[in-house]
Structure 1
Amino acid sequence: MANKPEVKELLDAGVHFGHLTRRWNPNMAPYIYMERNGIHIINLYKSAAKMEEAAEALHKIASSGRKILFVATKKQAKEIVAKEAARANMPYITERWPGGMLTNFVTIRKAIKKMSSIDRMKKDGTFNTLSKKERLQVDRLRAKLEKNLGSIADMTRLPGALFVVDITREHIAIKEAQKLNIPIFAMVDTNSDPREVDYVIPANDDASKSIEKVMTYAADAVLAGLEERKAGKESKATKADKEEPTPTKEVKGSTKAEVKATKKVADKKPVAATEEE
């Protein structure tokens, strides 16, 4: 499990800076500490508590074997999210969100399979039999699919949770997850509605340092969950190897029925013989 987040570290990363007061969402009031120079300041003690709560839930989901899909398409978050999600061995979307990514997952899987079929064509030599124009078209299609869906190629079923940076920007992803009752974790700034999210992390979602701090913490929690799952599997395998079936006692050359019958005869009392007249 990840360590408890330090308020000083969050302060140094600029997690406390919110949006301009005129752009705030009133539902974020419980997470706002004060207003300074026309900017809302987020209460970092609440941010730390919410980060810890989210990390615990992420840990449980990862240890259960389900995937967590990380979503961030804004410029300052793309590289950070891609790096941390890859480190945690989880799928991520950092380009445009494909409409129906969750609600029409079957179609998305078909597109991923198309990418795999192109790879097979290149391996078995079929690709070389195409004309120059056709090869160019196939290469362009492969590049486009890789850019948009390459990071979720290993996601064979719907994710167990969604982790979003900036819910206002990723509102389509949020709506799809809500429709399918998929738990949503998110960095929520002062201009967003926290009611849209199951696990709110009040934080500055515009500064790269702030995003990196929260994302690193979340990825560490996921990795801890994966390690726990791996350790559990290994211990079960070791236990199974140590356990041996208990041998049943048998009388050599005799069946159970024969042994039982022999015992019954042996237990009978001898009957006195009668004299012949």
Structure 2
Amino acid sequence: MSERKRIDRSKLKPVVLDLLKTGAHFGHATHSWNPKMTPYIFTEKEGQHVIDLEITAEGIFETMKRVSDVVAKNGKIIFVGTKRQAVKSIEDAAKACSQHYINIRWLGGTLTNWQTISERIKYLNEREAQFEAGEFNALNKKEQLDIQKEIDKLNRRLGGIKELTSLPDLLFVVDTQRESLAIKEAARVGIPVIALVDTNCDPDPIDLVIPCNDDSHRPIRYIASLVASAANEGRERHLKDLAKGPSDAEIEAEVAREYIDDIAEEVEAADEEELLGPGALKLIAEMGDAEETETET
């Protein structure tokens, strides 16, 4: 786990407020915590740990820089999240930044047996190309249906990484317990891992920890969208380095920007009382009062 740089609190506050709106601060019950998460816990309330969202925001800023730098060098990222709350957000974010994702099931050997996985990806792409070219039209309906079922099955398992031609440079993971196999494989082949880590998880195997509630789709979607935004910024830098010109880069990122804007609108329009509860709203007010006091002095 890398040492984290401190960031100006004034830069953190808008992100902290957005995180509060998504419920990112809700940790697990105190009886199910992992003591190694102590540095990331703000307090305990009614038997539940509350995550320190300033540290979360710092992790997000550091993540965005890391992701942008990786993609600027034409690096590849796999977004990993197979739990129900993460499935759609992971796919949407990866597609928004033209990266890769696994959101159904992590296949053992995806990283440690890449040669075999890449052969299956090649087979999937070939079968799809053959099907689209009408090469199976002479077969009877049952045979064509069997081939389509085979393609669909392969797409469920490999569809999110079928454009990947080599091992990725980085993993972005939601739920380190559920995705423990992916994290172990990444460690074995030397691929760094950035992850949302809840209070019941072990942060030690993670290169860059984002302490966060990983059991709600709202914080997952919000943070994944920021990661996608950083990836797109890196891709624009890469395209400019190739002398492609800023206008081309902006056109390629247009869909992604619309996606990021949609997420921002969702957070802004969220009902604060419903999402935060009176305790979190009070915390926001206290933050504002403290800031005003510092300014006066």
For the criterion TM > 0.5, the same-fold answer is yes
| Count of aligned positions | 236
Query: Which of 23, 41, 47 is 1:14 aligned to?
Result: 23
Is contact 1:55-1:221 (8 Å) kept? yes
Is contact 1:25-1:191 (8 Å) kept? yes
Is contact 2:170-2:191 (8 Å) kept? yes
Is contact 2:12-2:58 (8 Å) kept? no
Query: What is the alpha-carbon distance in structure 2 between the residues aligned to residue 162 and residue 211 of structure 1?
Result: 15
Query: What is the alpha-carbon distance in structure 2 between the residues aligned to residue 95 and residue 199 of structure 1?
Result: 24
Is contact 2:67-2:227 (8 Å) kept? yes
Find out whether 1:211 has 2:211 as its counterpart: no
**TM-score (norm: length of structure 1):** 0.81
Find out whether 1:90 has 2:116 as its counterpart: no
Query: Which of 144, 169, 172 is 1:163 aligned to?
Result: 172
Gaps of 5+ in 2: 1-10, 246-297
Query: What is the alpha-carbon distance in structure 2 between the residues aligned to residue 116 and residue 228 of structure 1?
Result: 29
- CA-based RMSD of the aligned residues comes to 1.9
Query: What is the alpha-carbon distance in structure 2 between the residues aligned to residue 152 and residue 125 of structure 1?
Result: 24
Q: Deviations over 1:90-117 (max 9, x none)?
A: 0000101111111111111111121222
Find out whether 1:25 has 2:34 as its counterpart: yes
**TM-score (norm: length of structure 2):** 0.75
Q: CA deviation at 1:15?
A: 0.9
Is contact 1:5-1:48 (8 Å) kept? no
Query: What is the alpha-carbon distance in structure 1 between the residues aligned to residue 243 and residue 110 of structure 2?
Result: 34
Find out whether 1:229 has 2:244 as its counterpart: no
Identity fraction in percent: 41
Q: Deviations over 1:236-271 (max 9, x none)?
A: 9xxxxxxxxxxxxxxxxxxxxxxxxxxxxxxxxxxx
Find out whether 1:144 has 2:148 as its counterpart: no
Match of 1:50 in 2: 59
Is contact 1:61-1:160 (8 Å) kept? yes
Kindly tell me: are residues 195 and 5 of structure 1, through their superposed partners in 2, closer, same or farther at Cα, counting changes over 3 Å? farther
Q: CA deviation at 1:168?
A: 0.3
Match of 1:273 in 2: none
Kindly tell me: are residues 5 and 149 of structure 1, through their superposed partners in 2, closer, same or farther at Cα, counting changes over 3 Å? farther
Query: Which of 50, 56, 59 is 1:41 aligned to?
Result: 50
Secondary structure at 1:187's aligned position in 2?
Answer: strand
Q: CA deviation at 1:44?
A: 0.8
Which of the pair is proportionally richer in helix?
A: 2
Secondary structure at 1:9's aligned position in 2?
Answer: helix
Is contact 2:85-2:216 (8 Å) kept? yes
Query: What is the alpha-carbon distance in structure 2 between the residues aligned to residue 170 and residue 14 of structure 1?
Result: 22
Query: What is the alpha-carbon distance in structure 2 between the residues aligned to residue 107 and residue 10 of structure 1?
Result: 40
Query: What is the alpha-carbon distance in structure 2 between the residues aligned to residue 5 and residue 57 of structure 1?
Result: 20
